[in-house]
Structure 1
Amino acid sequence: MTGRARARSRGRAVCHERPGADQPTETAPVGAPPEEGKVGRGRQKTTPGPFTEEALMQISAGFQQVKICERGGHRRDFNDAGINTRQVMEHVKDSKCGTSGRAIQLSANFFRILSRPQWVLYQYHVDFKPSIESRRFRSAMLYQHEEILGSARSFDGALLFLPHRLHSKETVLCSEMRSGDKVQITVTLTNELPPVSPVCIQFYNIIFKRILRVLKMQQIGRNYYSPNDPLDIPKHKLTIWPGYTTTILPYESGIMLCTDVSHRVLRSETVRDFMINLKQTAPAHRFPDICAKELIGLVVLTKYNNKTYRVDDIAWDHTPNNTFKKGDTEISFRNYFSNQYGINIVDCNQVMLVSHVKRLGPSGGPPPGPAMLVPELCYLTGLTDKMRSDFNIMKDLSVHTRLSPEDRERRLSRFVMNINKNEEAQSDMDKWGLSFDKRLVQITGRVLPTERMFQGQKSYEYDANSADWAREMRGIPVISAPPLSNWLMLFTRRNMNEAQGLLQSLGKVSGPLGIRLQRSVMIEYEDHQESLLRALQQNVTPQTQMVVVVLSSNRQDKYDSVKKYLCVDCPVPSQCVLGRTLSKPQALMTVATKIALQMACKMGGELWSVEIPLKQLMIVGIDCYHDTTAGKRSIGALVASLNHSMSRWYSNCVLQHKGQEIMDGLKKCFGGALKEYLKFNQCLPTRIIVYRDGVGDGQLHSVVNYEVAQIIEAIKSMGQDYMPKLSVVVVKKRINSRFFALINGKVSNPPPGTVVDSEVTRPEWYDFYIVSQSVRQGCVSPTHYNVVYDTTGLKPDHMQRLTYKLCHMYYNWQGIVRVPAPCQYAHKLAFLVGQSIHREPNVKLDNLLFYL
């Protein structure tokens, strides 16, 4: 499994819920918890009580909002607007800021929006008599009255938005159609929206998208890119379009634009070129299947209109000679492109691509049909697996895409400067009384203290700048490691020397680490999947403690067969390693050390720990992976701590329906974790903190209303009298926020442990950012934590410090990781099951980190 595959494994499900059109009603807090008590070493004098059902409902009371749709169609709420989870948490109502650590001055990729005082958006309902179906005609009729409405207006076919109020609450206008028929238009005031209204915020974003189009930027997906400023890499036949991600939202210190640099990689290869090359290498009878597998799901760019489409199918029975209905006449695709764009299609026998257009039709109905695309005119976007594994391609790409903090800050400042300089864009903003601050927002963060690592009988501090302790832990025994006496090493004849070298190196490094390792049984297998599986079946017994397999290549089928057999059919921890990884003598000792540590913790060993003051605490990590091979099922994984030092873990997973992100089987998995904790400690936890990773945009509502309820049900199933203090924290890595520090006069990445909990956090959430990693190239990405449910009463400072401590506890890396260890463990488990096993692992492995 490569880093690329791990990165690709993160999936998102589409949320089909569409908020209604009712305005939110103000609700008083229900079941307000008592005052927060003082937190000692694991003891809490008083804590908020559990949320009532009414309080849970109130959390999302603002979710039902009017949606402004530029095209009148369905949209997902990408910003989870209207979900106010903070209002029912008494202990963070006044402040959600921590206190520990040293202050650090930062700048962030946010620009304040400056609007005129008392800015109000006026919402009107527009009625036509007689009724007009076409939105285009409705707009044309309404815009005949510019002298009354003004030049600043936005109309979606039913709702009209103006920056000023008309003289009367109801205004009657009269328009004339080309036929001479009269149309009466009634414009009725329905709402006055302040700047922080969810509808108003969405309106800001619509205005800004218009400004980006004024700047000649092209929308691809959610982001906008500049086709007029391409970065060409001719030797790899690649082009990079620079662009930006943009979102306008209310934050603690006001309404701001969050913008970050983005890049889109385009290939000079057309889909037709790709299909021709594929046909030359694929067997003729399998070509349609292989072609469909390669192309379906890819995003292509049609340069004649600079639009992107997702390939949903291949129409093998259609060619450019086929016709379609345009207006009242039939026209062939070939003639259409010739007349419309002046393009002559060369190959008239090529098959057509199918893309299901998601936009609604002009009258709000379904689209007239799927878009038919000509492969010759479709350019592939993104990178293939082969390209990603090519070091030279990735190196040349990183020159343009991996920007230093200084370069990124400079480009963002230039972006806003270009908006302010563009006369047409400035004119559009002036109509609405809007402008942007010219400099990035300045904020104050805090750098948490460096953690002390405990390993065996010793402790040490790591280098705060590098955020890893690989050097410091050398020669120090781990906390515990089961003796390894009965284990196998499988290898091919070609990798015999590498296997022998690995065995000798493991013998040298295991002693200082406190791992008692006896010589393994060496088994040679022929270099194909069937021979490898047969060797496992013939040699692995219930007494086998560990199986190490040296693979001659990174072919997925070999790796999958090892993991499937040893995780499901014959449960034994296993370790796979590529022969070429062992072929460099100068790196062999380092590789052997990491493999020895992995083998130890896969068998139930404990490597290191940090101080966790809270007692009887259970930490839970939850994540999902979408299995593209087994009917696109979703795998939900849950990993829970079993001991005080967070060094032993219980894991479970559940296979779900296609594309599903929210875990249906959460109650079952959570109940299993509580029972295992009781068995391990002879008592149940008094505090449970759940870190929920993998939540896509627009799914926060489902987590709050659905998953939290399942967790509470699982807790209640342990006995009616049992109700621990519970926190649920949503973890998001896919965010656009970036922070910059001025260190020694140079714009740099913030140091590991930097916390931001004010200014650029959301006022309706109990949220914070932590920069936990150190990167050598490019900009470090912070992680966003949103506490959506909390009855623990932990102070924000304690929640932040505990979260940062848990980023030190991932045993597959001798350093700080980007998310708390249980989230990373849950991701690894879900990925292994979804990528290789496709079935639930054997229960005998539940208490082992077999998936590392």
Structure 2
Amino acid sequence: MEKSSKEEEGESPPLPPPPPVVSQNVKTEQVDQPKRSIISRRGFGTAGKRITLLTNHFKVAVKSPDEIFYQYSVSISSEDKRAVDGKGIGRKIIDKLYQTYSSELAGNRFAYDGDKTLYTVGPLPQNNFEFTVVLEDSFAKHGSPPHNGSPGEYGKRSKRSFQSKAFTVEISYAAKIPLKSISLSLQGADPDNVQDALRVLDVILRQQAANRGCLLVRQSFFHNDLRNFTDVGGGVTGCRGFHSSFRPTHGGLSLNMDVSTTMILTPGPVIDFLLANQNAREPRYIDWAKAKRMLKNMRIKTRHINREFKIIGLSEKPCNQQFFPLKVKNSEGAYDEGQTTEITVYEYFTKHRNIELTFSAYMPCLDVGKPKRPNYLPLELCSLVSLQRYTKALSSVQRTSLVEKCRQKPQERMRVVTDAMKNYRYDDDPFLVACGISIEKQLTEVDGRVLEAPKLKVGNSEDCFPRNGRWNFNNKHLLTPIRIERWAVVNFSARCDTSHLSRELINCGRNKGIHIERPHTLIEEDPQHRRAGPVVRVDKMFEQITARLPGPPQFLLCVLPERKNSDIYGPWKKKSLSDFGIPTQCISPYKINDQYLTNVLLKINTKLGGTNSLLAIEHLSCIPLIKDTPTMILGMDVSHGSPGRSDIPSIAAVVGSRSWPLISRYRAAVRTQSSKVEMIESLFKPAANGKDDGIMRELLMDFYNSSNGRKPAHIIVFRDGVSESQFNQVLNYELDQMIKAYQHLGEVDVPKFTVIVAQKNHHTKLFQAGANENVPPGTIVDTKVVHPRHYDFYMCAQAGMIGTSRPAHYHVLLDEMGFSPDDLQNLIHSLSYVYQRSTTAISIGIFMQIY
């Protein structure tokens, strides 16, 4: 990789040469690090143009801060002493308990989490209770069931009676939670039970939503309202709802309310779901083995008796061939014990129930019984119940559809949120009234600042000034263009003229300062291979490449047959990068013009080691606190497999800056680790032979080799993907591993660290009052809606053109380098302009180096 002119001139004073052990596998004694605590806020930023904003936080007033919540443990068991799980039945039992035993409980209202805990304002009369609660089931058959394991078990009910089920509920005192802990937290204290008090308030909101029949997903709730549904294909529907949570902020207690979306199974006939899910034109094309896996545990409602069941499987035979034993009546109309006759499910429903069955006669039945006692229902009588979560990974087509259909402009999002606050009338909840809590109905107004966009340096020492978070390379050269001499074009698309494409790419490259020779060869896919699978097509193409090229090219330009979601892409990348180590650029142009080709060349130049642009302050080596001391910047993230796929390992990726004093050049290190584990396990990975094969050693050595033998004295860590409950693990596990890796190289003086967590998955949004456009790029908010004590701020660095922008939420956990608020915020803002493949500011710059 080429060095910048500043590095070659060696203008920065060199540090003393490192000892020879830097490149050796030396194991040194490592000192245990003291436990670290999250730092408090050091001040507020002042840089930038002032702007007045609105945010989706609603101010909460607490009129009775001295109230005390009492926490009780709840245990529910059935008549046979088995524990009762399931939040739906738990809420029904507790509701019935309150109705039945209100006087014994002195009229105290409950806030019940649906599981093992309930809360009251003030104590119950006793510390321990045991109640018997009776629930009545109106769907029970009068008398004994007529037969075993058959559809008729749920047969015609001309007479219904109420079958009672008794449950034992034990309630025992657990703890006191003072509401005052929230007030103390707002004043800057750190009481132990503030999270417990906030949890009580959140449980109250969830209980309200549950009573309205909503689907609850963590702190979000979703109504069964067709107006909130949007079909995304494959039998999956996006359901719009709301997130709500109480948060202590610098401006006081607030309720954060936001639009939220979850995925549910499209309600309606089961057969319609299967056709959509498998993209089948007709029922005869359904893969029933796949359908069995998909339908298991889904809840359905039957048309003939209007009752809900849970699917446990499918019948082994079609409806018209699946037999079951039907009890036989004697001459007096009573059932004879042990007397049965074999009958098919189809015959039972058509002759005994007088229900006409059409298409489902030749299909398997749904089994809604128990493992040893099947109960079969014809498919066409069953519909999927609404508000059933779909937790599998979405396809790329579904994700695209969801994004396009669920995006909202800022003004629409503001209106939806404020309407929800008015309609749900949280203030009317008796529990909140008892606490003296009231909630305002207007969005909170906050003061923001808009930072000036950093100036960029491009080719020929020209300056580039971004406008509204964007810039371009019209009539400009790239800063350090590469020279491309050995390359080839491979074409999987019959519609693309590769000769014209290569000529236009060469001409565009010349205008941007890149010298591109004519391609060594243009390879067209053999038409007879186009019907083969993607892996075969890629293998056949590489057979042509190895036959027609004298050696490995600098890169391959690959023309894909589809612009989006091409099944060629994954196998092609694996083959070219993993198997052959050849950089590749995939394209699928609708039309070939200068803008499109420029964007392609930005990617190619970066992949081959060139530099498109630099920050002007970076080019001049004048970044505060970084210019004088070798500083390494790390971006760290962990990606996990699809929900429910515990067999797929998680992927830990870390990027580290190189070629100090630059902050635009990065090297990536990737490792697999235990599934669903968020903490990075391989930052320091000593082996039995004393060698460290961890990520940090790899990045530290690369920094040393690319920075004229300088060792980082400062390390800035940006961590993505962790929640507030994991902050201490980042500080006291991951940071310890980094230090151990540094010490393992024979170093005694540990670098100074600044550790920052960047969160994208939060629910705070920023709006411009009276404007239906997003906040300007560079917008900062570090007052009022931030934490009352910790050092955090919101930054919206990107220019949001579609939907409503989501600001990044930065939490500074540790700052041994001693940044001022303005210097740190300006550095983070500047990092949004260093992503070499983009000509727009991006939301969280350092992490795009990973992706």
TM-score clears 0.5 = yes
Alignment of 1:74-93 (within 5 A): 85=38, 89=39, 93=40
Structure 2 residue 651 is matched with structure 1 residue 649: no
Q: Is the 8 A contact 1:51 1:791 kept in 2?
A: no
2:243 match: 245
- Among 468, 471, 475, the residue aligned to 2:470: 468
Which amino acid in 2 is paired with 1:248? Answer: F
Tell me the secondary structure at the aligned position of residue 622 of structure 1: strand
Q: 1:245 to 1:656 in 2, by over 3 A?
A: same
Structure 2 residue 178 is matched with structure 1 residue 193: yes
Alignment of 1:237-386 (within 5 A): 241-263=239-261, 267=266, 270-276=269-275, 278=278, 287=287, 295=294, 317=316, 347=360, 376-378=382-384, 385=395
1:816 match: 841
Q: Is the 8 A contact 1:110 1:258 kept in 2?
A: yes
Q: 1:225 to 1:147 in 2, by over 3 A?
A: same
Which amino acid in 1 is paired with 2:383? Answer: L
Matched residues in 1 for 2:843 and 2:177: separation? 43
Deviation at 1:403, TM superposition (A): 2.1
Deviation at 1:748, TM superposition (A): 3.8
Q: Is the 8 A contact 1:532 1:558 kept in 2?
A: no
1:677 match: 703
Q: Is the 8 A contact 2:202 2:219 kept in 1?
A: no
- Among 453, 456, 461, the residue aligned to 1:453: 456
2:330 match: none
Q: Is the 8 A contact 1:502 1:592 kept in 2?
A: no
2:340 match: none
2:744 match: 717
Which amino acid in 2 is paired with 1:494? Answer: A
Which amino acid in 1 is paired with 2:650? Answer: S
Tell me the secondary structure at the aligned position of residue 783 of structure 2: coil
TM-score by length of 2: 0.71
For 1:38-57, what per-residue CA distance to the aligned partner results, in whole angstroms no more than 9, with x for missing partners?
Answer: xxx999xxxxxx9974433x
- Among 18, 27, 35, the residue aligned to 1:55: 35
- Among 773, 790, 796, the residue aligned to 2:821: 796
Q: 1:784 to 1:42 in 2, by over 3 A?
A: farther
Tell me the secondary structure at the aligned position of residue 803 of structure 2: coil
Matched residues in 2 for 1:184 and 1:416: separation? 35
1:153 match: 110
- Among 805, 811, 824, the residue aligned to 1:780: 805
2:541 match: 532
Matched residues in 1 for 2:838 and 2:587: separation? 16
Q: 1:566 to 1:371 in 2, by over 3 A?
A: farther
For 1:792-846, what per-residue CA distance to the aligned partner results, in whole angstroms no more than 9, with x for missing partners?
Answer: 22222222211111111112211101112x31121x2xxxxxxxxxxxxxxxxxx
Deviation at 1:288, TM superposition (A): 5.4
Matched residues in 2 for 1:574 and 1:412: separation? 45
Higher alpha-carbon Rg: 2
Tell me the secondary structure at the aligned position of residue 105 of structure 1: strand
For 1:635-693, what per-residue CA distance to the aligned partner results, in whole angstroms no more than 9, with x for missing partners?
Answer: 22221110222232212211223333332222211110000111111111121112222
Q: 1:427 to 1:625 in 2, by over 3 A?
A: closer
Which amino acid in 1 is paired with 2:597? Answer: A
Q: 1:116 to 1:308 in 2, by over 3 A?
A: farther
Deviation at 1:348, TM superposition (A): 7.5
Q: Is the 8 A contact 2:301 2:309 kept in 1?
A: no
Matched residues in 1 for 2:366 and 2:727: separation? 35
- Among 606, 613, 637, the residue aligned to 1:601: 606
For 1:599-631, what per-residue CA distance to the aligned partner results, in whole angstroms no more than 9, with x for missing partners?
Answer: 111110011111241232211112233356995
Which amino acid in 2 is paired with 1:194? Answer: L
What is the aligned-residue identity percentage?
21
1:737 match: 764
Q: Is the 8 A contact 1:139 1:155 kept in 2?
A: no
1:664 match: 681
2:559 match: 550
Deviation at 1:314, TM superposition (A): 6.0
Matched residues in 2 for 1:609 and 1:349: separation? 67
Alignment of 1:174-253 (within 5 A): 190-195=175-180, 196=182, 197-219=194-216, 223-228=220-225, 230=227, 241-253=239-251
Q: 1:642 to 1:426 in 2, by over 3 A?
A: same
Tell me the secondary structure at the aligned position of residue 730 of structure 1: strand
- Among 638, 642, 649, the residue aligned to 1:624: 638
Deviation at 1:452, TM superposition (A): 0.6
Tell me the secondary structure at the aligned position of residue 835 of structure 2: coil
What residue ranges of structure 2 are gaps of 5+ in the alignment? 1-11, 15-29, 85-89, 135-163, 183-193, 325-343, 350-354, 530-536, 685-693
Matched residues in 1 for 2:713 and 2:206: separation? 49
CA RMSD of aligned residues (A): 5.0
Deviation at 1:515, TM superposition (A): 1.0
- Among 42, 47, 62, the residue aligned to 1:115: 62
For 1:269-317, what per-residue CA distance to the aligned partner results, in whole angstroms no more than 9, with x for missing partners?
Answer: 6553343574967999994566578x489x9775789999999x96575
For 1:102-139, what per-residue CA distance to the aligned partner results, in whole angstroms no more than 9, with x for missing partners?
Answer: 222111101122222324323255799x9996787898
For 1:375-414, what per-residue CA distance to the aligned partner results, in whole angstroms no more than 9, with x for missing partners?
Answer: 7423797897485498xx779x63xx32221221122111
Matched residues in 1 for 2:716 and 2:13: separation? 14
Tell me the secondary structure at the aligned position of residue 656 of structure 2: strand
2:577 match: 567
Q: Is the 8 A contact 2:576 2:582 kept in 1?
A: yes
Which amino acid in 1 is paired with 2:256? Answer: C
Matched residues in 1 for 2:609 and 2:309: separation? 48
Deviation at 1:145, TM superposition (A): 5.2
1:635 match: 651
Which amino acid in 2 is paired with 1:584? Answer: K
Matched residues in 2 for 1:722 and 1:564: separation? 41
Which amino acid in 1 is paired with 2:120? Answer: L
Most deviating of 216-225 and 183-192: 183-192
Tell me the secondary structure at the aligned position of residue 666 of structure 1: coil
Tell me the secondary structure at the aligned position of residue 658 of structure 1: coil
Deviation at 1:458, TM superposition (A): 3.2
Q: Is the 8 A contact 1:172 1:184 kept in 2?
A: no
Q: Is the 8 A contact 2:833 2:841 kept in 1?
A: yes
TM-score by length of 1: 0.71
Which amino acid in 2 is paired with 1:548? Answer: L
Tell me the secondary structure at the aligned position of residue 689 of structure 1: strand
Tell me the secondary structure at the aligned position of residue 51 of structure 2: strand
For 1:337-385, what per-residue CA distance to the aligned partner results, in whole angstroms no more than 9, with x for missing partners?
Answer: 9xxxxx9998487558899xxxxxxxxxxx9999999974237978974
When the two structures are aligned, how many residues end up with a matched partner? 703
Which amino acid in 1 is paired with 2:179? Answer: P
Most deviating of 517-526 and 597-606: 517-526
2:153 match: none
Q: Is the 8 A contact 1:598 1:811 kept in 2?
A: yes
For 1:459-517, what per-residue CA distance to the aligned partner results, in whole angstroms no more than 9, with x for missing partners?
Answer: 4454533x1102xx3222222122111111122582451x1222111122112311111
Matched residues in 2 for 1:218 and 1:794: separation? 45
Matched residues in 2 for 1:796 and 1:51: separation? 32
For 1:44-78, what per-residue CA distance to the aligned partner results, in whole angstroms no more than 9, with x for missing partners?
Answer: xxxxxx9974433xx4xxxxxxxxxxxxxxxxxxx
Structure 2 residue 726 is matched with structure 1 residue 726: no
Matched residues in 2 for 1:573 and 1:811: separation? 16
Matched residues in 1 for 2:288 and 2:422: separation? 50
Most deviating of 551-560 and 114-123: 551-560
1:754 match: 779
